[in-house]
Amino acid sequence: MAAACAFCSVAAVAYFALIVAAVLGIAVHKDTVEVRVATSYAVVDCAPPPSSVGKSSGGFREKVLPLLAALPAAAATAATPGFASLHSDDRSAFVRGICLGFDVEQDCRACLAAAAKNLTDSCLGASRRGGVWRGEGCFVAYSNANASSAREDAFRKVVFAGEDPGGDPNCLDTRRLVALAQSMARGGAADAFGAQEFRHAAALARSRVTPENTVRVFPDVARVETKVRVVAQCARDRDRASAECARCLGEAARRVPTCSWGLDGCHVRVADVLGYGCFLRVETKVPPVRAETWLSESLDVAIFVLLPLVAVAAPLAAAAAALG
């Protein structure tokens, strides 16, 4: 009889502890985090210096430095934040900056300040033109003339980040992506921090991606639909009209890698297309995942231990009671 009481007590305590752990686990597991790719890069492009620099190179640098220092505040606090263009009094030095998709002005200001330092350390000197793009989402350039050069118009670079799903058959349709990017020129690519569009992966995929789609990796979450976020920002100086912005964004969209995105509800990737006239970002987004903390992990362990304990103690208590 004593054994039956002991087993019964163990079962009762374990059952009560299991209920408490389960309730706490439900509350703790409500916290989720967004899965994003951290884009960390600084791409610097310095134009070749002129064949004859002369003594004016130092004077040009002295004109550009104060403009670069003033640019972050000018872009972050402009009437439509996210773009600014400044020039020297004699219009022999020009700077401009773009912020892409920021939510707060402070982040835009910090990114532009870091980009300006990249330019100062890398290009500013003999070179009369240069640009830098940072992974946080900003671009800064300087030049000795307000008109674009042929080299700047032709410049494009793609930075593709995130986990490569490897062999995934789901690819983006370039024509659909180009059409969306060009439409954003009319819908806000010259507005504060650029234009932003969300689309279901099925709307931009080469072949339809349905929630039922499964892949060989993470089949338990591969049924969840992926969304695609497209952010675009055009330079608003140099008389760039909507048509020119659309042309720039269309060319940028053609450079976006079409495959190795996943589109399986699990993988997140980012492609940035860098240019002097526009900045385009394409990224995939998946539903938030459960935030793992020491408390949630401890509760998971407790439930894992208590479940078999209850399952074993209750029958043993009943068996002991029958024998006693």
Q: Nearest 10 degrees: CA dihedral of 26, 30, 35, 38?
A: -110
Which residues, 6 or more positions from 180, have their beta carbon under 8 angstroms from its beta carbon? 197, 199, 204, 230, 253
Look at the chain and count its residues.
Answer: 324
CA-derived radius of gyration, the chain: 28
pLDDT 10s digits, 78-97: 777 788 889 999 999 999 99
Q: CATH class for domain 40-155?
A: alpha beta
pLDDT (0 to 100) of residue 57: 61
3-class secondary structure per residue, the chain: CHHHHHHHHHHHHHHHHHHHHHHHHHHHCCCEECCCCCCCCEEEEECCCCCCCCCHHHHHHHHHHHHHHHHHHHHHCCCCCCEEEEECCCCCCEEEEEECCCCCHHHHHHHHHHHHHHHHHHCECCECCEEEEECCCEEEEEECCCCCCHHHHHCCEEEEEECCCCCCCCCECHHHHHHHHHHHHHCCCCCCCCEEEEEEHHHHECCCCCCCCCCCCCCCCCCCCCEEEEEEEECCCCCCCHHHHHHHHHHHHHCCCCCCCCCCCCCCEEEEEECCCEEEEEEEECCCEECCCHHHHHHHHHHHHHHHHHHHHHHHHHHHHHHC
Matching residue, tokens 């690519």? 189
CATH number of 156-287: 3.30.430
Contacts of 202 (CB under 8 A, 6+ apart): 208, 209, 210, 225
* pLDDT at residue number 32: 54
- What angle do the packed helices 174-186 and 242-254 form, to 10 degrees? 160
The C-alpha atoms of residue 25 and residue 42 are separated, in whole angstroms, by 42
Cβ within 8 Å of residue 66, ≥6 positions away = none
Q: Alpha-carbon distance 318 to 310, whole Å? A: 12
Q: How wide is the angle at C-alpha 90 spanned by C-alphas 85 and 94, nearest 5°? A: 25
Below-70 pLDDT ranges, the chain: 1-37, 51-58, 103, 167-169, 187-193, 207-224, 237-241, 288-324
Q: Which two tokens stand for residue 277?
A: 């006239």
Q: What was the pLDDT predicted at 197?
A: 85
pLDDT digits (tens, 9 = 90+) for 310-321: 555 556 455 555
Closest CA to 116 of 138, 100, 140: 140
pLDDT at 267: 80
Dihedral sign from CA coordinates of 202, 229, 271, 34: negative
Q: What pLDDT sits at residue 219?
A: 35
